[in-house]
């Protein structure tokens, strides 16, 4: 996981509520056993028609937005299934952050775990950013350390849990962090009440 400090890049506006993980990465692409290579299938059924032809109007198919690195969308982004393939596909497509008024819980955690920065702003702030993003030349800057989003005529702070921020800023492996507490896990297992279930 690459450490994140400051992200500066183009925004892609997708002003829709409840963008679900089935839309982000449809199920036919979940059969792969690899972790990478999901980018071409991102929003597949919005990006390609039934014949597999590119739908030119779709925001991510527009040449002006080909280099977008920050997705700006509506509330409850990433709802539905727990598939981590969803943030994988967004990341694989070159995005480094998603800005929305709210995220689904599992999706949010998945983003933190893979180093894709989820940024929560207010409805009004996201609406304004979305408008600014309509001009593809307007770049946005997200400063994780300062917890601040800035672009032309726009500045907003955002909240993030200190531990999640620490992990993202340092690119830390969560499992390695937990294994530092191996003795605590050993101790817990020893003291567990006998009738706690076991698959035996």
Partner 1 sequence: MTTPRTMYEKIWADHVVRDGGGTEPDLLYIDLHLVHEVTSPQAFESLDLTGRTVRRPDLTLATIDHGVPTTGRELGIQDPLSKKQIDTLVANCKKHGIELYDIHDIRQGIVHVIGPEQGITQPGMTIVCGDSHTSTHGAFGALAFGIGTSEVEHVLATQTLPQTRPKSMAVNVNGELPLGVTAKDVILGIISRIGVAGGTGYVIEYRGSTIEALSMAGRMTICNMSIEGGARAGMISPDEITFEYLKGRNYAPTGAEWDEAVEYWKSIRTDEGAEFDVEVHLEAADLAPYVSWGTNPAQTVAVTDAVPDPSEFEDALERDAAERALVYMDLEPGTPITEIPVDRIFLGSCTNGRIEDLRAAAAVVEGRTIASDIHAMVVPGSGLVKLQAEEEGLDLIFKNAGFEWRDAGCSMCLGMNPDILMPGERAASTSNRNFEGRQGRNGRTHLVSPEMAAAAAIAGRFVDVREWN
Applying CB under 8 A, among 8, 9, 20, 61 the residue interacting with partner 1 is 20
The torsion angle over the Cα atoms of residues 36, 74, 56 and 39, rounded to 10 degrees, is 0
Interaction of residue 105 with partner 1, rule CB under 8 A: yes
Distance (Å, rounded) from C-alpha 154 to C-alpha 132? 9
The number of angstroms, rounded, from the C-alpha of 82 to the middle of its chain's C-alpha atoms is: 13
Q: Which is nearer to partner 1, 32 or 155 (CB)?
A: 32
Residue 83 makes contact with partner 1 by CB under 8 A: yes
Residue 43 region by backbone torsions, left for phi larger than 0, else alpha for psi between -120 and 50, else beta: left
Of 37 and 157, the one with the shorter C-beta distance to partner 1 is 37
> How many angstroms separate the CA atoms of 149 and 129, rounded?
10
Residues that bind partner 1 in the complex, under the rule CB under 8 A: 16-18, 20, 22-23, 26-28, 30-35, 45, 50, 74-76, 79-84, 87, 102, 104-106, 109-110, 113-114, 161-163, 174-175, 177-179, 181, 184-185, 188-189, 192-200
């Amino acid at each position: 996981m690459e450490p994140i400090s400051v992200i500066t890049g183009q925004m892609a506006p997708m002003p829709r509520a409840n963008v679900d993980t089935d839309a982000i990465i449809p199920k036919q692409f979940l059969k792969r056993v690899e972790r990478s290579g999901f980018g071409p299938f991102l929003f597949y059924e919005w990006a390609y028609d039934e014949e597999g032809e590119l739908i030119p109007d779709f925001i991510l198919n527009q040449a002006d937005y080909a280099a977008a690195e920050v997705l700006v969308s509506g509330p409850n982004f990433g709802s539905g299934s727990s598939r981590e393939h969803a943030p994988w596909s967004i990341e694989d497509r070159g995005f480094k952050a998603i800005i929305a008024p709210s995220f689904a819980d599992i999706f949010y955690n998945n983003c933190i775990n893979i180093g894709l920065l989820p940024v929560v702003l207010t409805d009004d702030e996201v609406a304004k950013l979305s408008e600014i993003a309509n001009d593809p030349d307007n770049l946005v800057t997200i400063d994780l350390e300062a917890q601040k989003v800035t672009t032309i005529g726009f500045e907003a702070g955002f909240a993030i849990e200190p531990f999640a921020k620490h992990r993202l800023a340092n690119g830390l492996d969560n499992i390695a962090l937990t294994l530092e507490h191996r003795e605590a896990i050993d101790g817990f297992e020893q003291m567990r009440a006998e009738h706690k279930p076991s698959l035996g």
